[in-house]
Amino acid sequence: MQLKQDLKKHIICKLKGENKMARYAQACPIIYGEGSLNLLGNETKKLGCSKVMVVSDKEIIKLDFYSKALKNLKEAGIKVVEFSKIIPDPPDYIINEGGKLAQKEDIDGIIAIGGGSPMDAAKAINILVNNPLPINNYFGQPVYNPGVPVIMISTTAGTGSESTSIAVVTDTSNNAKNSVICNASLGILDPETTLTLPVENTANTGIDTLAHAAEAITAKEGNPKSELLAKDAIIKVINNLPLAISDPRNLVARSNLLIASNFAGIAFNDSLVHLGHAIAHAIGAKFHITHGVICGLALPEVMIYAAGVKAEKVKIVAEAMGIIFKENENSSKIAEKAAKSIREFLKKVNIKSCKELDIPRDEFIGTAKMVISDPCYQFIPKKLNEREVKNILEKIYDNY
């Protein structure tokens, strides 16, 4: 209970802008390496679980490693309840359905197998194991009865959800993305589970990692651990994402991207993401565009905006991407070089423009109020009015 009270106080202080100290931690232990999926059964038993809900989606359950995971659990004597109804940007009604099933089956553990959506869904469902439905009651609310152990098996390299204290849920009543506050108990990162990830998804999730890291470095309240991990994550994405796209079975590239995703997740769990994610949440909720794509499209203009107040941090992002600066370059030049480099990288990995995604320009710009109302907007490094947000949205649409 004391931990939850401290967490609530920390979040309130952040929202009020009162936190002057850097905080960093790692909420979820991680097991990383080829073949680490084989440890699932034993690790689940170590957490005291005997009957678990496996949360996934219709595509993941068709893959060999999913069957391998279930076999491993059953061989360890653990009963399994499957819930594979998760869809991208998991909506509240699916979380509630999962919560009802978890209560009915009296589970004592949850295992997520998949990308960000199954992992977020698993954490959200866990809130409902020992608390009344619906999940909407817990948006932004860190105080509730504890759930059960949750194990994350990440099959993409983008969200870092195994290491964050947030689960994003689509609030269908308000047609917006919201979030609940929760942690996983263990993350298992086996790069072999990412080898079958399609090229387009590889690109989208890799760009999500890049955005997490860049925003973590430039957030209102950064810290040295976040900066260190985020910088390394950027380097790994730049060096490995094109390789994973051209050679999808390259295990070295896949391994580096998975670590990059995890490092960026740990980084932004403390310093938090800001304007780019507020934009991505708004656009994603309105147009149902893949999260990582919008994060990436927003990133050049977000770095230009951030350079107006944190040029030295934008310079760190750019240097991690391989940009070499001359001595004493001003903030405008830093912003220009960073934005140019990001746009070039996005095109290198075939990220489509807003026009190519068939998003109407006026409607795109019209999401400004949604952006401002998104929780991530509270952590932007410099406040903006609605007109200024619209200007940034216009540039995102026109300049790529």
What pLDDT score does 5 carry? 45
Cα 91 to the center of its chain, rounded Å:
16
**pLDDT-above-90 percentage for the chain:** 90
**pLDDT-above-70 percentage for the chain:** 94
At 179-203, the pLDDT tens digits run: 999 999 999 999 999 999 999 999 9
- Quote the CA–CA distance of 147 and 128 in Å, as a whole number: 7
Q: Which pLDDT band, with edges at 50, 70 and 90, does 17 fall under?
A: very low
Prediction pTM value: 0.91
What pLDDT score does 16 carry? 46
At 301-351, the pLDDT tens digits run: 999 999 999 999 999 999 999 999 998 899 999 999 999 999 999 999 999
Burial of residue 141 (number of CB atoms within 10 Å: 0-12, 13-18, 19+): exposed
What pLDDT score does 24 carry? 73
Residues 292 and 204 sit within 8 Å (Cβ to Cβ): yes
Residue 328: count of CB within 10 angstroms of its CB? 6
What value, to the nearest 5°, has the Cα angle with vertex 311 and ends 301 and 264?
70
Residue 302: count of CB within 10 angstroms of its CB? 29
Burial of residue 132 (number of CB atoms within 10 Å: 0-12, 13-18, 19+): exposed
Query: Amino acid identity, residue 83?
Result: F
Q: Is residue 1 over pLDDT 60?
A: no
- Quote the CA–CA distance of 148 and 165 in Å, as a whole number: 15
- Quote the CA–CA distance of 319 and 324 in Å, as a whole number: 6
- Quote the CA–CA distance of 191 and 112 in Å, as a whole number: 16
Query: Amino acid identity, residue 46?
Result: K
At 218-261, the pLDDT tens digits run: 999 889 999 999 999 999 999 999 999 999 999 999 999 999 99
At 263-277, the pLDDT tens digits run: 999 999 999 999 999
User: What tokens does 116 get?
Assistant: 């960000």
Quote the DSSP letter at residue 18.
-
What pLDDT score does 8 carry? 47
At 361-398, the pLDDT tens digits run: 999 999 999 999 999 999 999 999 999 999 999 999 99
Q: What is the mean pLDDT of residues 154-161?
A: 94
Listed residue (375, 372, 399, 367) closest to 384, CA to CA: 372
Give the DSSP H/E element, type plus range, for residue 109.
Answer: strand 109-114
The overall average pLDDT reported for the chain is: 93
